[in-house]
Structure 1
Amino acid sequence: MIKRKKVRLIIGLLFLCVVIYFGSLHLKIRENIDSKAPNNVDYLIILGARVKGTIPSLALQYRIDKAAEYLTNNPNTIAIASGGQGEGEDITEAEAIKIGLMEQNITSTRIILEDKSTDTVENIYYSKKVIPNSSKTGILVTNDFHIYRAKQIARDQGLLVHGLPAKTPVVALFKSYSREYLAITKYYLYKYII
């Protein structure tokens, strides 16, 4: 009987720890959702997301739209379209971003392609290599749930950037947040333990 109570107590404490941990992750994500990006930065990096053939996924389209809005209002800012070509993609994510920006009247001369990356760490790593030397200030454009981790990864690589959150498709909210909790956990494990 005492043994059973002990087991229940341990399970209860573990469950409580898990709830507190994921709750704290959710707070960190939420703190970055309302971040305001300054005007007239030198560059913005649009992080890639899935492309279906040649059509941007809804998540990527929201990133493109948010970037185009900023670029229209800040004509001296250049864009770095970041993302390689994955399975089921007929063009690179970077190319899909460029096409989407040009459809919204952003000239191709303002768009630099980074088309090697396969994940967020590589998005930042390869984008950093194509940022013009004279550039000082920057912004990351990604869906709101992703801003926190993307900014942390950028900081790890020496880029102090602001976040410009695009909305997350409602149909993908649960999946996006669930995956992001796990991705942040993996990031923490690699950064602090492994």
Structure 2
Amino acid sequence: MKRKKGLKLLLLSGAAALLYCAILQYKIYQYSHKPVPKDADYIIVLGARVKTDGPSLSLQSRIDAAAAYLLANQNTKAIVSGGQGTDEPVSEAEAMKQGLLTAGIDETRIIMESRSRNTYENITFTKKLIPAHSEPVLLVTNDFHLYRAVKMAEKQGLNVKGLPAPTPLITIPKSYVREYLALTKYLLTGKI
């Protein structure tokens, strides 16, 4: 009898976990498939890891998405946001700036924020660099990260839309598991 109850409890817990992950996945999908406004005043490119040989795959995807948008929207300025971790050769902001310059974006259109260490700080520090009444403002990050990033920005009073960068295939399993955990922590505590 105890064994049956234990099995039933295990199955119910597993079903609840799957349902929870499905809901999170739906929100992630929903936020990464919204229309992207043209002619934004600013885009905020969120940082990701920089390796010794250059941007990580995820960061390069963000740089590419930002560059494509900036080339198509000549009046938009970019704020590249990300500090330098102990294992990073340069700040994430510097790596993004170099990537955008290489893609042909004029340096006068790039503003650097190189103190932040996480998504919350990216938004906190970047918000101070955006003039009041600038709209629209777009957050550029990988599609798996967009829902949480937009929610964090809204909580800090920043009205943003998302510009999703594709998640590199090789990083999908790790990225999504980490994001489910980060989202759970954020939803429970309001912190990253």
| In structure 2, C-alpha distance between the alignment counterparts of 1:163 and 1:179, rounded to whole Å | 20
Matched residue, 1:26: 25
Matched, 1:59 2:79: no
Query: Which consecutive residues of structure 2, in runs of 5 or more, have no partner in the other structure?
Result: none
Percent of aligned positions that are identical:
51
| In structure 2, C-alpha distance between the alignment counterparts of 1:69 and 1:136, rounded to whole Å | 19
TM-score normalised to the size of structure 2?
A: 0.95
Matched residue, 1:71: 70
SS of aligned partner of 2:128: helix
Q: Decide whether the 8 Å contact of 1:54 with 1:91 is kept in 2.
A: no
| In structure 2, C-alpha distance between the alignment counterparts of 1:184 and 1:170, rounded to whole Å | 21
CA RMSD in angstroms comes to 1.3
TM-score normalised to the size of structure 1?
A: 0.94
Shift of 1:98: 0.6
| In structure 1, C-alpha distance between the alignment counterparts of 2:159 and 2:133, rounded to whole Å | 15
| In structure 2, C-alpha distance between the alignment counterparts of 1:178 and 1:36, rounded to whole Å | 26
Q: Decide whether the 8 Å contact of 1:22 with 1:181 is kept in 2.
A: yes
Q: Decide whether the 8 Å contact of 2:37 with 2:136 is kept in 1.
A: no
Shift of 1:131: 1.1
Shift of 1:134: 5.0
Shift of 1:49: 0.4
Q: For 1:2-30, what per-residue CA distance to the aligned partner results, in whole angstroms no more than 9, with x for missing partners?
A: 22222222222111111111111111111
Count, aligned residues: 191
